[in-house]
Amino acid sequence: MMTNEQEIEDRLIENLEFEDVKLNTHRGKQRGYYDPNPVEVFFTRIGQAIYQFTDDNQHKTLMTDEDWITHCNTANKCVRFGTLYGPKELEDFKTEELGVVRTFMNKRTKWI
């Protein structure tokens, strides 16, 4: 019979092994050079949500021009994050754009 500590340790090891497999695979196969990593998928999903928000609020009375432009630029950077022509780090975002990313991050608990 296993003790509680051994059970907890075994569960942690299983989770770590699963996370390692999850990070090294893409759709169940070995991750290729052009497959997105989880960070890129995360930013792509946030960018898609920001684009959806801007599409729903295109009318002049719903958003100011400056807010709409900031949201569109943020979504563009998020979708291209980690790619050849996109930003590579969070420092590449402006402070206003980081604020938009933070507000959308808090809207959902799970993005991937």
Residues 31 and 74 in one domain: no
* Number of structural domains in the chain: 2
The winner for highest mean pLDDT among 39-48, 54-63, 101-110 is 39-48
Question: Which pTM does this prediction carry?
Answer: 0.70
Handedness of CA 86, 84, 38, 27 (dihedral sign): positive
Residues 50 and 96 in one domain: yes
Q: Which residues contact 103 (CB under 8 A, 6 or more apart)?
A: none
DSSP symbols for 16-30: HHHHHHHHHEETTEE
Tokens coding 50 = 């920001």
> Where is pLDDT greater, at 29 or 15?
29
Range of the domain at 41: 37-112
